[in-house]
C-alpha cells in the first residue's frame, strides 16, 4: 500500500466527517490515472441520497466513464439487498477497488459482492478501519458483527492474556502497544527499548508469555464455544479436502501437524495415523495429544521455527487455524514448511472464519479486527489471499482455495 493510496483512503474518511452522521455515512472517491480526484461523494450530503446515487450523478455530469481507482469507506447494501458499489462499477470502468469495511448487515458471503466477484479489490489498513468505526460507534456496536454477542470471544482474547502475562513478569506493555507490535520479535524489541533488556532475554520472556496465553485459552478448550459445535460435518469436510489434495493413504503418511491447540482437532483427524508429529507453542495441547496418540512425536515450537525437524521429511503438512495468529512470521513459517516437506508433498492450511453466536445458534462469518470487538466479514479472505500469495512466491504449486462456513482452506503442493 503506497502513500498515494493512503492519502485517498484518508480523504474518503475525512469527507464523512462534514455531514450529519445520525445514520451510517459513507465516503467515496473516484481517482484518475494521473492520481487526480475525478469526483467525490458522501451519503447524506444531498437530501439524504445514497453515496452511490450522488457519485453517479456527479460522474454523469462530468462525463466520467473510466477511473484508475475507487475508494469506498463501507461496502454498503441497498434497500433491495444489492451492493451499491456494483451500480458504480456497472457505469464506470475502474481498475482498482479499495474498500474499508463491510456493511454490518452482511452476515455471510454473497456471490454478488464485488469483494467476492473481482480480484482487483484491496482493503484499507486496520488503523483506518478503526477510524471509520470510531465515527459510527453505535452503528457497529449494535450490529450482528459485534462479538459482544458471544461472551467467550470478547472475554478470552489472546492479546489480553499476553499483556497480563507480561505485566506479571514486570513488563508494563499495553494492549495498544501489543496490537501495534504483534510479532514476537517486535514485542521483544519494544521491551528492549522500554526496559533496556537484552534482546535474547526479552525474546524468551515474550515467547513464554505467548505460550502461557495459548496454554490458558486452549489447554482445556472444547467445541462448546466453537462454530464447529453446530457444524457437525467439519471433519467430513476436512477429510474430503484432504482426499482431494493428498492421494496417498493418510494413515501411513509421514504427517506434520503445526498448531495442535487443545488436541481435540488432532485426535479427530489423526487418531489412526502411524507417523505423525505435533508442534505447538503451548505445552498443554501437546500433553493431551501425546496421551491420546502415544506413538506420536511432539515438539514445543512456533510455526516459524521448526529447526529441530529435518529437511525433506514429511508427506503432509497440516496447520488448521494457526495462521490466524499474528504472533509469528507467516513467510518464515511457510519457508519452514517448504523445507521440511518432501518433493510433491502436500500442505493444507486453514484460517478460522466464523464465530459462534450461541444465543441464536448461528455462525457469524469473519475475523476480529485487532483492538476491537467487531468481526470483519472480509478479513478471513484477506488473510487467506495473503497466505496464498506467499505460497506462490515460495514456489508452491497447484494452489486451491476452498471456503466452508467455519473456515477457509488452502491446499498446495511442493
Domain spans of the chain?
3-143, 152-218, 223-413
- Quote the percentage of the chain above a pLDDT of 90: 50
Q: Which residue has the cell 453515496?
A: 51
59/150: higher pLDDT:
59
Domain 223-413 carries which CATH code? 3.40.50.150
Q: 3-143 belongs to which homologous superfamily?
A: Cytidine Deaminase, domain 2 (3.40.140.10)
Q: Examine the pLDDT at 11 and tell me if it is beyond 60.
A: yes
Residue 408 burial (CB count, 10 A): 21
Question: Each residue of 273-284: pLDDT tens digit?
Answer: 999 999 998 888
pLDDT band for 67, please (50, 70, 90 cuts).
Answer: very high
* pLDDT on residue 233: 80
List phi, psi (to 5°) of 158.
Answer: -55, -40
CA–CA gap between residue 72 and residue 48 (Å, rounded): 18
- Quote the percentage of the chain above a pLDDT of 70: 92
**Collapsed DSSP state (helix, strand, coil) of residue 73:** strand
Spatial CA neighbour of 136 closest among 297, 6, 23, 272: 23
Alpha-carbon dihedral angle through residues 36, 63, 87, 133, given to the nearest 10 degrees: 30
Q: What is the pTM of this model?
A: 0.80
- Residue count of the chain: 414
Question: Each residue of 76-107: pLDDT tens digit?
Answer: 998 888 999 999 999 999 999 999 999 988 87
pLDDT band for 149, please (50, 70, 90 cuts).
Answer: low
* pLDDT on residue 48: 66
Question: Each residue of 336-347: pLDDT tens digit?
Answer: 999 999 999 999
Q: Examine the pLDDT at 155 and tell me if it is beyond 80.
A: no
pLDDT band for 197, please (50, 70, 90 cuts).
Answer: confident
Amino acid at each position: 500500500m503506497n502513500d498515494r493510496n493512503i492519502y485517498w483512503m484518508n480523504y474518503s474518511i475525512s469527507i464523512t466527517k462534514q455531514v450529519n452522521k445520525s445514520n451510517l455515512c459513507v465516503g467515496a472517491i473516484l481517482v484518475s490515472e494521473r492520481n487526480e480526484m475525478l469526483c467525490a461523494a458522501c451519503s447524506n450530503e444531498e437530501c439524504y441520497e445514497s453515496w452511490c446515487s450522488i457519485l453517479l450523478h456527479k460522474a454523469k455530469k462530468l462525463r466520467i466513464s473510466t477511473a484508475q481507482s475507487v475508494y469506498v469507506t463501507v461496502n454498503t447494501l441497498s434497500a433491495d439487498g444489492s451492493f451499491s458499489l456494483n451500480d458504480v462499477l456497472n457505469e464506470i470502468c475502474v481498475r482498482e477497488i479499495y474498500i474499508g469495511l463491510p456493511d454490518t448487515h452482511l452476515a455471510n458471503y454473497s456471490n454478488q459482492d464485488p469483494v467476492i466477484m473481482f480480484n482487483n479489490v484491496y482493503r484499507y489498513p486496520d488503523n483506518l478501519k478503526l477510524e471509520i468505526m470510531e465515527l459510527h460507534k453505535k452503528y457497529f456496536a449494535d450490529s450482528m458483527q459485534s462479538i459482544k454477542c458471544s461472551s467467550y470471544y470478547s472475554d478470552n482474547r489472546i492479546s489480553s492474556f499476553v499483556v497480563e502475562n507480561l505485566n506479571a513478569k514486570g513488563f508494563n506493555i499495553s494492549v495498544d502497544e501489543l496490537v501495534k507490535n504483534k510479532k514476537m520479535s517486535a514485542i521483544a524489541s519494544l521491551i528492549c527499548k522500554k526496559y533496556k533488556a537484552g534482546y535474547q532475554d526479552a525474546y524468551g520472556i515474550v515467547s513464554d508469555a505467548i505460550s502461557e496465553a495459548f496454554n490458558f485459552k486452549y489447554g482445556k478448550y472444547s467445541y462448546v464455544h466453537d462454530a464447529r459445535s453446530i457444524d457437525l460435518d467439519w471433519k467430513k469436510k476436512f477429510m474430503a479436502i484432504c482426499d482431494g489434495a493428498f492421494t496417498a493413504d493418510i494413515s501411513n503418511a509421514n504427517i506434520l501437524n503445526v498448531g495442535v491447540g487443545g488436541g481435540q482437532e488432532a485426535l479427530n483427524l489423526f487418531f489412526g495415523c502411524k507417523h505423525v508429529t505435533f508442534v505447538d507453542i503451548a505445552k498443554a495441547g501437546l500433553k493431551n495429544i501425546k496421551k491420546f496418540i502415544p506413538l506420536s512425536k511432539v515438539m514445543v515450537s512456533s510455526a516459524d521455527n521448526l529447526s529441530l525437524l529435518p529437511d525433506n521429511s514429511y508427506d503432509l503438512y497440516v496447520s488448521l487455524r494457526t495462521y490466524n495468529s499474528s504472533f509469528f512470521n507467516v513467510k518464515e513459517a511457510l519457508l519452514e514448511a517448504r523445507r521440511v516437506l518432501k518433493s510433491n508433498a502436500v500442505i493444507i492450511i486453514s484460517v478460522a472464519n466464523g464465530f459462534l453466536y450461541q444465543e441464536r445458534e448461528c455462525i457469524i462469518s469473519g475475523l476480529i479486527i485487532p483492538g476491537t470487538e467487531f468481526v470483519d466479514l472480509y478479513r478471513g479472505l484477506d488473510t487467506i489471499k495473503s497466505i496464498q500469495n506467499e505460497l506462490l512466491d515460495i514456489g508452491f504449486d497447484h494452489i486451491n482455495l476452498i471456503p466452508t462456513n467455519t473456515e477457509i482452506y488452502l491446499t498446495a503442493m511442493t
